[in-house]
Amino acid sequence: MTFFHSWLWKMAWRDSRAHLKRLFLFVASIILGVAAMVAIGGFGDNLESAINDQAKTLLGADLAFRSQSPFPEKIEALADSIGGEQAREIDFSSMAFFPAQNATRLVRIRTLEGRFPFYGKLESQPAGADGFLRQHSGGALVDQNLMLQYGLALGDTVRLGSAAFEIKGELKKIPGQAEAGSAIAPTIYIAARDLGNTGLIRFGSRAVYRLYFRLAESQDPEKIREELDPQLRAERIRASTVESQKESLGQAMGNLYRFLNLVAFIALLLGGIGVGSAIHVYIKQKLNTIAVLRCVGATIRQTFLIYLIQTFAMGVAGALAGIALGLMIQQFIPAVVGDFLVVDLEMFISPAAVLQGAGMGLVLTLLFALLPLLGIRRVSPLLAIRASFAENSDRDPLRLGVIGLIAAAVVAFAILQTQSVAVGLGFALGLAGALALLTGAANLLMWGVKRFFPGRLGYLFRQSLANLYRPNNQTLVLMLSLGLGTFLIATLYVAQEGLLNQVALTGSGNQPNLILFDIQTDQNTAVREMVEEHQMPVLQNVPIVTARLSRIKDRSVTEMLADSSQSPGRWALNREFRLTYRDTLIETEKLVAGTWVPEVAADQDTIPVSIEDGLAEDLGIAVGDFLEIDVQGVAMPARIASIRDVDWQRVQTNFLIVFPRGVLEYAPQFMVVVTRAPSREVSATLQRDLVQRFPNVAAVDLALILRTVEGILDRISAVIRFMAFFSILTGLVVLASAVITSRYQRVQESVLLRTLGATKSQIRIIMLLEYVYLGSLAAATGVLLSLASGWALAAWVFNIAYHPPLVAVGAFTGGVILLTTVLGMLNSRGIATRPPLEILRSEA
Amino acid sequence: MNDPQPMLSVSGLSKTYRSGERDLTVLHDVTFDIAEGSTAAIVGPSGSGKTTLLGLCAGLDLPSSGTVRLDGADLGRLSEDERALVRNRLVGFVFQSFQLIPTLTALENVMVPAELQGRSDVRNRARDLLETVGLGERMGHYPVQLSGGEQQRVALARAFINSPKILFADEPTGNLDADTGASISDLIFELNREAGTTLVLVTHDQVLAAQTQRILRMRGGQIVQDVYSESSLNR
């Protein structure tokens, strides 16, 4: 008989119909996993198609140039030669002052000119408010969150530098910008022609300059970009097209998508383990039926197929239910992650995601179920006449084969989910490690309890402890499912707490919390005085000079930039450095190589500079190497005199490159003042007074940033929690199914104990204690693992000091124990109270 | 005595189990034949090897040495699947603990062995058999809804559905009260007579054993006595 023989299906149905509910619970653990896969996969496809459809509106143009300084003549000429329609934008940070509210805030100012965006539009209230800015002077469009935060209304005034603007519209959505981004630096749009009035952009000001092109149909933007790339690179100008924008967007969104994908996969895996363990117990209860079938002439293959068919059918049912649930959940994902999206999602059902989710669910169900199903082949018909017949305990080579298949499937799926061989393999290895540790802990527990059995304890304690290692125990299954679930969820929590703590520490104690920058040299004394008048200390007062690297050792940076093989230090080649000069090391710095040179003569040929060790490593340079530093057009030859280790965690003005005194004193520069405001109010007063007297000075309020970052992290953790919810729920279903499958064994025992005279409360206590032991150990192992992985994340990924959230983790552990016990007891209800005979008959 | 062709032929049969570090011989050099259509009882104290012998005779297990021939087929030379086929076509079973499949109704339990042969016209025959054992009204009931005696009747009907040549019964009345046990044993012998089936019984029950033509008495894994009853000698 083959798999499709009608009698086998009939027999599978007859044998399973009495406990369909129980079987469905087995696959319930797979439903959530499939649902998560379908939902996330579908969301990913929706996202990809949205990016494809909206890429043009994200860039707003066919081609865009971006530079950190005004475009040089050469590039202007080049731009003219390209033709098409052009528009410019200047984008920089500055302080905004709202006179009616008497409040100030660091904002991102962008200028509007020409018909940009050529594709898509700025969404505002009233609609089309940007039209006013294009035609009239003195208007501004203000980010809606900012309006809300300061209680601003249309018609209110906002002062930017030395000019006042009337708020003409509330910005709802800017193409290409995620909503979460606007929280850090909310945007204000003004007309380009009004920029001069503000007096905010001077020589050396930090700003981003963009030039947008709308090309003729016949022009291929990608081709133009490729042709111009070498010339643009030489001037440190980056060109983007719809294609390149799509690519980088896809990458950014891809990370989010991959993360969600992995979490969904974990839920599916947990479900697989749940199915495997449930089928294991199920088959154990079916041994007698299998033996009888064999006695009356069924072959090994036939009995095996009967139960394979049951599993398969349940897997299909689970996958179908998972698809339905997944499609529903897919509708909610945009609401959860919406803040991080730059595109408008249009939801549709993705057949590929449905097939992949359901297919993976079914394959994992079958593979995990195959392990216990294989045991059917070894059931002897003798079992029908001899209940105590010992099972064949030889190793089954097919079992090893199935374990290999499961491992291969997990690796393959992990690679498929992350679209990266390295990440997929790493994930699978990490998971294997966690499973091995949990299995080890479970075995150690069983061995330990048996070996050091506390024989003096009361009967109830002994009986419940013995349940942990007696035949048919549920120790391993519960340890794996509960432990893994706890581990994953607690890791997410520990990592998130670690990050938040880091941010909170930065803003506490006597750390500086207000940084004033862009102070002109001639304003420095007055600004210092103003800070001190507000009873605040000047913790640091540092000059800052902007510069670029132009030669490293014997190669020009232009040449190095053109060489695409130069990768680790690429960030440093393109960037504008803010450097300083001083004669001493500060407390956040430690000399790791060379000698510190405090001061040199102004006419020194080669200047001895100090660089940060990370920069030295990325650029592959050491003490004694030659550098040429371009300080706003003046090439300065320099030699690396020392290398410093810098603690970037502290709120200080820290620098990659430090000059000795004596060279840069007359270079164009601005000053920074670092101070500490005792309260929010004092900080606000100082900022207000500053902006009125020195509109060009910008203030970074760390307390405000802290609150904003907390807000963003909260939103990120909402996404994480949404996904972790799948794991938790799957863990619960797995737990419930493990508890329910163990019910049968517990029933027999309890009935026997009650027949022998045990009271209801004694039986309840035995069950309660067993679940408390199991819950405690699984939760403790999972939580310990998560603390270890949290430490690893802190040390190697986030590079932050690790402060384990012990109280929260303790509460979490308690929660898992409580949940396990409650679920266990809920499921066992009735066993202790119903008459023994009634239970035996109904559960037989 | 001129025996017809033996239905079951056991020769030099031994069975040894490994128990921890040492070997445990539960059957030692057992030899006997059972004639076709005859009835025999294997009796003996607990642990004497009765059930092991029955399991080997029915092809549920393989001996450590010796041969079992069932209707001329050497079971030791057959694969597990071939033995399953022999059990299905030639053998009927009745167990002490009834061994009905709990998830199947009485009727479905009876049908299973016939359905395994791929036959689809088995429902009527199964109904007839259940009528014969007096369960015409209870065909749709599950085992838990039946009394012990009723369950054993279903098991009997199942044992006869494929018209087996030999019926193995392992303590068929062991789990039943005296009255029910008597009615079941009557039924077994009645069905056996009607179908001309060979019957091998394993039992402690002397009354039941006395109803067979031959009694094989076991002790310590060996046959220590082989007695033909008067009725069979007179036949």
Q: What share of chain B is helix, strand, coil (3-state, %, to 5)?
A: 35, 30, 35
User: What are the two backbone dihedrals, phi and then psi, of residue A350, each rounded to the nearest 5 degrees?
Assistant: -100, 110
H helices of B33-168, in order, are 50-57, 80-90, 106-116, 123-132, 148-160
Would you state the pLDDT for residue A570? Answer: 74
Give the rounded percent of residues in chain A with a pLDDT score beyond 70: 85
Residue A204 has pLDDT above 70, yes or no: no
* Stretch among A715-729, B141-155, B206-220 having the lowest mean pLDDT: A715-729
Nearest CA distance, A754 vs chain B (angstrom): 21
Asked whether the CA dihedral A27, A32, A35, A37 is positive or negative, the reply is: negative
User: In whole angstroms, what is the distance from residue A567 CA to residue A549 CA?
Assistant: 16
Domain region containing B97: 6-234
ipTM: 0.86
A296, A299, A380: residue with CB nearest B112: A296
Interface contact flag, A293 B101, Cβ < 8 Å: yes
Host H or E run for residue A361: helix A351-374
Interface contact flag, A14 B108, Cβ < 8 Å: yes
* Stretch among A412-426, A714-728, B9-23, B188-202 having the lowest mean pLDDT: A714-728
Residue A259 has pLDDT above 80, yes or no: no
User: In whole angstroms, what is the distance from residue A474 CA to residue A775 CA?
Assistant: 11
Residue B59 lies inside a defined structural domain of this protein: yes
A11, A288, A295: residue with CB nearest B93: A295
| B235: confidence class by pLDDT, cuts 50, 70, 90 | very low
Residue B1 lies inside a defined structural domain of this protein: no
B60, B91, B118: residue with CB nearest A382: B60
Host H or E run for residue A750: helix A702-755
Q: Name, of A53-57, A145-149, A278-282, A301-305, the range with top average pLDDT.
A: A301-305
Cβ(A207)–Cβ(A90) under 8 Å? yes
Mean of pLDDT values over A557-581: 76
Interface contact flag, B116 A292, Cβ < 8 Å: no
A10, A302, A841: residue with CB nearest B144: A841
Nearest CA distance, A261 vs chain B (angstrom): 41
DSSP state of A794: I
**Domain total in chain B:** 1
Interface contact flag, B116 A302, Cβ < 8 Å: yes
Q: Check which CATH number belongs to the domain holding B83 and give it.
A: 3.40.50.300
Q: Which residue of A has its CA nearest to B170?
A: A385
A14, A18, A381: residue with CB nearest B60: A381
Neighboring chain B residues of A16 at a CB cutoff of 8 Å: 103
User: In whole angstroms, what is the distance from residue A90 CA to residue A207 CA?
Assistant: 7
Q: Which residue of B has its CA nearest to A839?
A: B144
Q: Which residue of B has its CA nearest to A377?
A: B80
User: In whole angstroms, what is the distance from residue A605 CA to residue A626 CA?
Assistant: 12
> DSSP string of A484-528?
HHHHHHHHHHHHHHHHHHHHHHHTSTT---EEEEEEEGGGHHHHH
Residue A628 has pLDDT above 90, yes or no: yes
| A472: confidence class by pLDDT, cuts 50, 70, 90 | low
User: In whole angstroms, what is the distance from residue A738 CA to residue A475 CA?
Assistant: 10
**How do residues A357-406 score in pLDDT, each as one tens digit?**
999 999 999 999 998 899 899 888 888 887 655 556 667 888 899 989 99
Cβ(B89)–Cβ(B78) under 8 Å? no
Average pLDDT, chain A: 82
**Which of B15, B62, B75, B93 best tests the A interface by mutation, with the highest count of A CBs <10 A?**
B93
Q: Name, of A109-113, A570-574, A742-746, the range with top average pLDDT.
A: A109-113
Cβ(A27)–Cβ(A318) under 8 Å? yes
**How do residues A721-756 score in pLDDT, each as one tens digit?**
666 667 667 777 776 776 666 666 667 677 777 777
Nearest CA distance, A294 vs chain B (angstrom): 7
Nearest CA distance, B86 vs chain A (angstrom): 7
* Stretch among A144-148, A314-318, B123-127 having the lowest mean pLDDT: A144-148
Cβ(A658)–Cβ(A580) under 8 Å? yes
* Stretch among A106-115, A414-423, A485-494, A739-748 having the lowest mean pLDDT: A739-748
| A531: confidence class by pLDDT, cuts 50, 70, 90 | very high
Interface contact flag, A295 B99, Cβ < 8 Å: yes
Mean of pLDDT values over A240-262: 74
**How do residues A53-87 score in pLDDT, each as one tens digit?**
777 787 888 999 998 888 888 889 988 998 889 99
* A-to-B residue pairs, Cβ atoms closer than 8 angstroms: 92
Q: Which residue of B has its CA nearest to A378?
A: B80
Residue B141 has pLDDT above 90, yes or no: yes
| Strands, E assignment, A134-186 | 139-143, 157-160, 163-173
